[in-house]
Structure 1
Amino acid sequence: MTCTKLFPAAFLLGLSAPALAQDTGGDTAPPPTITVSGSATIASDYRFRGVSQTDQEMAVQGGITVAHDSGVYAGVWGSNLAGWGTFGGANMELDLIAGYRLPVGGGTLDVGLTWYMYPGGADLTDFAEPYAKLSGTAGPATLTAGVAYAPEQEAIGKWYATGADAAAGVFTDPGAKDDNLYLWGDAAVAVPGTPITAKAHVGHSWGQDGLGPNATAVAPTGRYWDWSLGADATWRNLTFNLSYVDTDISDREAAYLRPSFSKGQDGTGNIAGGTVVASLTAAF
């Protein structure tokens, strides 16, 4: 499910990366109409909107984007999964993304859709989520505000009211459909004279307050906050990120979702608790 989810920044880096100039006897060729870029990441945990999708273990991720100079782009991104994040038995998440970026005032508006796929999972795993985000600068800071809204779909419906129901295989409301709304804001400030960029994120989710048909959920407790504070250190095409990621989902608040919503899905361990996530990304 789309550091907080760590991939969007790395995945879309190539959309704003300048094309390499070609040597044509001293003249600079115009930028290509179509550019292809990508990234590969290794991370200590895969946090999607503050919740671990890899059972608090390592994640290997990668993506590729094809962009047209008109602003249209399409891409694919993938990550391994474990525990809560397996979404019906899948050990991989594969996101298909398409969108359009256009200048608005002094900033950029990006609108598109993410199709979350879980190859090898049970039925009713995949779902679609349109999104829009507006980016701009304010002094030394780069600011982004975004919204993602997944319309009613069975994959994110409240089929189980509690984790005990899911463990017993007793549907509370089979066939239920729910929607999900996520609002977020990001800020990044480069530290002058260094390769370091300080970053902050805050987001809020509204969705089902139970479990979907595969005993997981995009917004497990119905509504919650997630946030992160960290920094990037960049050298050539490599970016090392260190961030503290947390949510306001407490053990007590999430108790009714267990054993599903826990490390190892054994009823113990808060997979939405505060943690430090380290990642290394290579852009190409």
Structure 2
Amino acid sequence: MNLRHMAVVAAMVAYPAGAAAQDVAKPSSPQAIAEPPTTPVRPITVTGSVSVQSDYRLRGVSQSDDRPAVQGSLTIAHDSGLYVGTFASNLAGWGTFGGSNLELDAIGGYKHAFGSATVDAGLTWYMYPGGASKTDYAELFAKLSGTSGPATLLAGVAYAPSQQALGRWYDTGAEAAAGVYTHPGASHDNLYLWGDGGVAVPRTPITAKAHIGYSRGNRGLGPNATSAAPTGAYWDWQLGADYAIRNTPLTVNLSWIDTDISRREAAYLQPSFSKGQDGRGSIAGSTLFASLTAAF
């Protein structure tokens, strides 16, 4: 999932204005009527999105067995900069991590603008309801973003302290398939660095986008074959474009996603690290990705 997914995810969360203003008391005198109108107070905003996509790729690796995914997010932000949110997606294949067919993340952080730059820092708790034990883990993140004309840039770092879900409990995928722990109780940390860029194409609803990320963690599989960096260290990238459908909250994305994890390099992870967990192919290979997102 996963340095999943940063966000991953990403990750990453945007907060357009959208919450209703609080009621403002009616004036009680002619003097009050003559005064300038009071600016409505908007201490809380609620935003979110729902998307349908051809695959759920967390840091370049499929969490839905190269199959479609439905995802949703919700964020409640205070005007102080503090916010809480959640993200959910269906899972399949290797991404189920012990039986769960759902990823449910809890997110909390602080976001603040300093001039033309915005800092966003917090924590993501990755949870897999219904799955086996010891698959959940926490990850700290920090992002710095800014705009320059039609371009937006973001740099991020996500760090998961040493936890059992990220440890090397199995040396190989065959051991994971057999269900016999090689190093039960092992713990490890995980680091993910990433950068995103976007350029709006003038006089069009199109935004060209690019992403590159680097993962570093344990070279093995954790309990129930979990792993945030399956081969220990690898790169992932994404090139594509958003198309905002005019007068609607809908955005279409078409991208090419890939990693530098070769089949030979990932062979020791098989059969876990393959579509259908049949030991053939890889769930970290290049793919054409498409999504339709509705934001509110």
Task: Determine if contact 2:256/2:286 at 8 Å carries over to the other structure.
Answer: yes
Residue 167 of structure 1: SS of its match in structure 2?
Answer: helix
In structure 2, what is the equivalent of residue 276 of structure 1? 288
In structure 1, what is the equivalent of residue 30 of structure 2? none
In structure 1, what is the equivalent of residue 120 of structure 2? 110
Distance 2:177 2:134 in 1: 18
In structure 2, what is the equivalent of residue 78 of structure 1? 88
In structure 2, what is the equivalent of residue 87 of structure 1? 97
Task: Determine if contact 1:43/1:60 at 8 Å carries over to the other structure.
Answer: yes
Give ranges in structure 2 of 5+ residues lacking alignment.
Answer: 27-35
Give ranges in structure 1 of 5+ residues lacking alignment.
Answer: none
Residue 16 of structure 1: SS of its match in structure 2?
Answer: coil
Task: Determine if contact 1:4/1:50 at 8 Å carries over to the other structure.
Answer: no
The alpha-carbon deviation at position 82 of structure 1 amounts to 0.1
Residue 193 of structure 1: SS of its match in structure 2?
Answer: coil
In structure 2, what is the equivalent of residue 252 of structure 1? 264
Distance 2:21 2:81 in 1: 20
Which of residues 278, 281, 289 is equivalent to 1:266? 278
Residue 221 of structure 1: SS of its match in structure 2?
Answer: coil
Distance 1:54 1:210 in 2: 20
Task: Determine if contact 1:144/1:186 at 8 Å carries over to the other structure.
Answer: yes
The one-letter amino acid of 2:47's match is S
Task: Determine if contact 1:6/1:46 at 8 Å carries over to the other structure.
Answer: no
Residue 265 of structure 2: SS of its match in structure 1?
Answer: helix
The one-letter amino acid of 1:259's match is P
The alpha-carbon deviation at position 117 of structure 1 amounts to 0.3
Alpha-carbon distance change, 219 to 144 in structure 1, aligned in 2, over 3 angstroms: same
Alignment of 1:1-284 (within 5 A): 1=1, 2=4, 5=7, 7-8=9-10, 12-13=13-14, 15-17=15-17, 29-235=39-245, 236-284=248-296
Kindly provide the CA deviation profile for residues 60-80 of structure 1, in whole angstroms up to 9, marking residues without a partner as x: 010111000010010111000
Residue 276 of structure 2: SS of its match in structure 1?
Answer: coil
Distance 1:196 1:28 in 2: 38
The alpha-carbon deviation at position 30 of structure 1 amounts to 2.4
The percent identity for this pair of structures is: 66
How many residue pairs end up in the alignment? 282
Distance 1:146 1:7 in 2: 10
Alpha-carbon distance change, 86 to 198 in structure 1, aligned in 2, over 3 angstroms: same
List structure 1 segments (4+ residues) > 4 angstroms apart after TM superposition. 3-9, 18-29
Residue 192 of structure 1: SS of its match in structure 2?
Answer: coil
| TM-score with structure 1 setting the length | 0.93
Residue 100 of structure 1: SS of its match in structure 2?
Answer: strand
Distance 1:70 1:79 in 2: 29
**Bigger Rg, which one:** 2
Task: Determine if contact 2:69/2:90 at 8 Å carries over to the other structure.
Answer: yes
Q: Please, what is the CA RMSD of the aligned residues?
A: 2.1
